[in-house]
Amino acid sequence: MNYDIARKRMVETQVVGRGVSDRRVIDAMLKVPRHLFVEEAMASQSYNDTPLPIGEKQTISQPYMVALMTELLELKGKERVLEIGTGSGYQAAILAVLADRVYTIERIRPLAMRARKVLDSLGLLNVNIKVDDGTCGWPEEAPFDAIIVTAGAPEIPEDLVRQLAPGGCLVLPVGSQVSQTLVRVRKGTDGAVSVEQSIGCRFVKLIGKHGWEAE
Ligand code: SAH
């Protein structure tokens, strides 16, 4: 299988074809080798239009969802970005290409360790990973210019809004355990907070103090 061709086709049909137009996001999706973020046995499916299992009952998001959420963050290159839910590390890699510094939190240690290895192997050294409950954010490194949550939240975690810099935005799925709406929270330069809704989606649960209870 030629992964470069598969990736190009994925970007054309699933990303550009569905209306993602931020050139920097498109280039990042063309650049980052998604097949390295899934188990070898699954690599041939890694450019398909679907989420895939990554172990520990978690998933790597559908490529389109990664592109859309990233576009909603409106990154220009100088930002400090916080991600909750490192998972495979794929979304973190896309952010690492598009921003100055990425802080990402994962609650399941083996996933965080695997993500670290893949990111290192790609030379993406501007990513800090922490094993913790990300619903409380990363106060020691706040404020962040952009925050992305890649697991479904029951409500907008207040700590994350607090850790957002003026002019920044927070993108996350909010809703029930089975279906959510993608939401963008903007904090104006005057500190005023506004909320916009995007498309419906379905993510694994955000588990933690300001998320769902663990099973
Ligand atoms: N962004 C990931 C997709 C992750 S799936 C990728 O690109 O592959 C969601 C991840 O969120 C899972 O790995 C899950 O363990 C993690 N997660 C759930 N609740 C969390 C929390 N409170 N803090 C940190 N990580 C959490």
Q: What are the pLDDT digits (tens) for 105-120?
A: 999 999 999 999 999 9
Domain membership flag for residue 56: yes
Task: Supply the range of the domain harboring residue 168.
Answer: 51-201
Using a cut of 0.85, tell me whether the model's pTM lies above it.
yes
Q: How many domains does the chain have?
A: 1
pLDDT band at 140 (very low <50, low <70, confident <90, very high): very high
Ligand 1 contacts CB of residue 135 (under 6 A): yes
pLDDT of residue 215: 81
Identify the active-site residue in 61, 179, 194, 198.
Answer: 61
Per-residue pLDDT, 164: 98
Asked whether residue 34 is domain-assigned, the answer is no
Give the pLDDT of residue 1.
84
The CA distance from 160 to 207, in Å, is 15
Percent of the chain exceeding pLDDT 70 equals: 100
Residue 142: inside a domain: yes
- Asked if residue 25 is part of any domain, the answer here is no
Question: Residue 106 pairs with which residues in a beta bridge?
Answer: 131
Residue 33 lies in a domain: no
Q: Is the separation of the CB atoms in 3 and 30 below 8 Å?
A: no
Token output for 149: 């949550």
Is the beta carbon of 87 within 6 A of some atom in ligand 1?
Answer: yes
Residue with CA at minimum distance from ligand 1 atom 16:
85
Give the C-alpha separation, 60 to 39, whole Å.
Answer: 11
Is the residue at 76 inside a domain?
A: yes
Q: Is the CB of 173 under 6 A from ligand 1?
A: no
CB neighbour burial string for 147-171, b if at least 16 within 10 angstroms, e if fewer: bbbbbbbbebbeebbebbbeebbbb
The enclosing domain of 66 has a CATH number of 3.40.50.150
181 lies in a domain?
A: yes
Question: Is residue 36 domain-resident?
Answer: no
Contact between 36 and 85 under an 8 Å Cβ cutoff? The reply is: no
